[in-house]
Amino acid sequence: RKEVEQDPGPFNVPEGATVAFNCTYSNSASQSFFWYRQDCRKEPKLLMSVYSSGNEDGRFTAQLNRASQYISLLIRDSKLSDSATYLCVAGKSTFGDGTTLTVKP
Amino acid sequence: EAGVAQSPRYKIIEKRQSVAFWCNPISGHATLYWYQQILGQGPKLLIQFQNNGVVDDSQLPKDRFSAERLKGVDSTLKIQPAKLEDSAVYLCASSAPYRGPNTEAFFGQGTRLTVV
């Protein structure tokens, strides 16, 4: 079993849709949580850190549930430019395999 | 601010040959990471340095992979001898001195290695 597991996707949604990604982690000692975005053939870039209280950045909301060892990312009002692979990270350096999102006109 | 620099961008070698990758982190970043990303998977940590000391190399295949970070700045990752399954993108990342558990890591563009 992988340390960080994500919905494999792919998610294909129309512009303006709301989409949610889930991620579970197995190491209960993890203290750091992130969502990274990776465009095709590019390096990962930080989308947002995930805090225990939950946090929001514009159209993006991240939630952490330590009891269930679960992280989520919600994207509202999807844009074509949101098309990418979204990587969940638990601990400083353990990545999931990513969920691919395609937003269509 | 200059980002993480990596070279070469692309490399094609035959199996059993040797190869080396170079990384220059963001100035002032004490922590440096090397990741291996196989197509369709997330990055897998190979080794983490804090200054010039190794923090974590538990997933580095030490029979063929080696890495060093002399003087706590630039780093090189070497594979000798390469196998077909080493075909991947090798990503270098760095992060600033610890500012709490959510200190961000910045990635370079990676080196795409193809072993034939």
What tens digit of pLDDT does each residue of B33-49 get? 999 999 999 999 999 99
Q: Is the dihedral of CA A2, A90, A17, A12 positive or negative?
A: negative
Percent of chain A past pLDDT 70, that is, above it, reads 100
Judged by DSSP in three states, B85 sits in: helix
Q: Is the pLDDT of residue B101 over 80?
A: no
* C-alpha separations of B39 from A15, A72, B6, B79 in Å: 27, 24, 19, 19
Does A57 touch chain B if contact means CB atoms closer than 8 Å?
no
Q: What is the pLDDT of residues B56-88, one digit of tens each?
A: 999 999 999 999 998 889 999 999 999 999 999
Token readout for A73 is 């990312």
- A34 and B102 within 8 Å at the Cβ level: the answer is yes
pLDDT value at position B99? 63
Q: What is the pLDDT of residues A57-86, one digit of tens each?
A: 999 999 999 999 999 999 999 999 999 999
User: What is residue B96's DSSP assignment?
Assistant: P
- B-chain CB neighbours of A95 within 8 Å are 35, 42-44
Which residues does chain A have with pLDDT short of 70?
A: none
Measured between alpha carbons, how far is B116 from B114 in angstroms, rounded to an integer?
6
Q: What is the residue whose two structure tokens read 């370079």?
A: B108
* C-alpha separations of A27 from A69, B8, B64 in Å: 8, 35, 28
Element holding A24 (H helix, E strand): strand A19-25
Nearest to A44 among B41, B101, B107 (CB): B107
